[in-house]
């Protein structure tokens, strides 16, 4: 019998120890930013090769801070993928810059570097790629291109914490990387995120940007040196993150086993595209399948409804950003980035989280096979 957890395509796994640790933090009465935040930042930094790491209230906030740290502002352009969550587009616009969309590769969803190079203008300040589970794009080529044109890189690594490039964890090399600790990510702090930067000077700028633009003067009075926001994490969230980080390797092992089961059990059918398989060092935050629904007499809505009726929850990560009303207002239109549009049109995100068993995945695969054989 499949678990009730199958009704959710993603959910966190919180240990009893982490719940008790939250109670201890609440009883300490130090519930805003405090020692647990510092402890979490140090623990995360150790996973990123010792690079300076700061935690914030969301990955979206981390993106905004990263853009501001790179000096992105009105009149600038940032090149990003049309296949991503909406936060990259939104934060670029919020900084006063223009998102310049390019297409992606079908299987990996990695940003198309040839299109990136073609899109570079004198106004380009940064490249913001989104990494997807299963396989990274060519990171060496990405950084070679950025170096050639003297551009900053802000990696949206929300979905791939723990993934490796040539044996090195994402975030341990390169320029800036941002991570998400939303409940549907590889680890959670309820809501939250992190930004990994290059040096202590940048980390100190993040400290200012994430808390009202405040800088301490030598006499310990405060000055506001820029128009900052308020993105500081609470110790309540941080202590959850510390316990999640202790379980992280076990989480990734279980997720990898679930993803492998999908590859073993999902049928090979025409018009069905699975994620990349057997790429070394990759984590599995979600399992996205592309289906040409019309070939099987479905729409995506009717296919998802059929899965829901069988007790299986799904998602559809992600719609193509350039087809949103906001982006259309900037002049983007259907047909400009066909691969991102196909992914946005055909994706169904199947359940994958550490609350599931291999038997649950077998059930999903059996139902999918039955639906597509009718």
* SS3 state of residue 17: helix
User: Which residue, chain included where needed, has tokens 């990560």?
Assistant: 317
What residues contact residue 200 under an 8 Å CB cut-off, 6+ apart?
Answer: 52
What residues contact residue 117 under an 8 Å CB cut-off, 6+ apart?
Answer: 145, 149
137 CA to centre of own chain: 14
Catalytic status, residue 185: yes
User: Which residue, chain included where needed, has tokens 């969803």?
Assistant: 109
Cα–Cα distance, 232 to 369 (Å, whole number): 46
Categorise residue 134: left if φ over 0, alpha if ψ from -120 to 50, beta otherwise: left
Out of 168, 185, 216, 328, the active site residue is: 185
Supply 113's token pair: 């570097």
DSSP codes joined into one string, 114-148: HHHHHH--TTEEEEE-B-BTTB---HHHHHHHHHH
Active-site positions read 185
């Amino acid at each position: 019998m499949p678990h009730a957890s199958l009704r959710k395509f993603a959910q966190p796994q919180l240990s009893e120890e982490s719940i008790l640790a939250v109670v201890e933090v609440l009883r300490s009465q130090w519930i805003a930013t405090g020692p647990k935040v510092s402890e979490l930042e140090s623990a995360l930094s150790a996973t990123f090769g010792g690079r300076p790491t700061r935690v914030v209230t969301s990955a979206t906030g981390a993106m905004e801070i990263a853009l501001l740290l790179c000096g992105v502002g009105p009149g600038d352009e940032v090149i990003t993928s049309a296949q991503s969550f909406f936060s990259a587009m939104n934060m670029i616009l919020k900084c006063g810059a223009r998102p310049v969309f390019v297409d992606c590769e079908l299987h990996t969803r990695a940003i198309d570097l040839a299109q990136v190079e073609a899109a570079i203008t004198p106004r380009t300040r940064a490249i913001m790629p989104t990494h997807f589970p299963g396989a990274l794009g060519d990171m060496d080529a990405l950084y070679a291109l950025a170096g050639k044109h003297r551009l900053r890189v802000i990696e949206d690594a929300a979905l791939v914490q723990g993934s490796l490039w040539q044996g090195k964890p994402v975030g341990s090399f390169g320029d800036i990387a941002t991570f998400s600790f939303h409940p549907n990510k590889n680890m959670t702090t309820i809501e939250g995120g992190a930004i990994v930067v290059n040096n202590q000077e940048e980390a100190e700028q993040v400290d200012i940007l994430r808390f009202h633009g405040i800088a301490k003067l030598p006499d310990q009075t405060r000055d506001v040196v820029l128009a900052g926001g308020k993105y500081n994490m609470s110790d309540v969230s941080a202590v959850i993150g510390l316990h999640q980080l202790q379980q992280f390797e076990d989480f990734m092992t279980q997720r990898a086993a679930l993803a492998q089961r999908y590859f073993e059990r999902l049928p090979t059918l025409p018009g069905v595209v699975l994620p990349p398989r057997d790429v070394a060092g990759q984590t599995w935050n979600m399992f996205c399948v592309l289906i040409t629904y019309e070939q099987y007499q479905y729409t995506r809505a009717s296919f998802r409804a059929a899965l829901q009726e069988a007790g299986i929850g799904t998602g559809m990560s992600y719609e193509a950003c350039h087809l949103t009303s906001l982006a259309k207002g900037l002049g983007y239109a259907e047909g400009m980035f066909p691969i991102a549009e196909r992914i946005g049109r055909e994706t169904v995100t199947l359940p994958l989280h550490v609350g599931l068993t291999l038997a649950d995945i077998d059930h999903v695969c059996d139902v999918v096979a039955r639906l597509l054989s009718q």
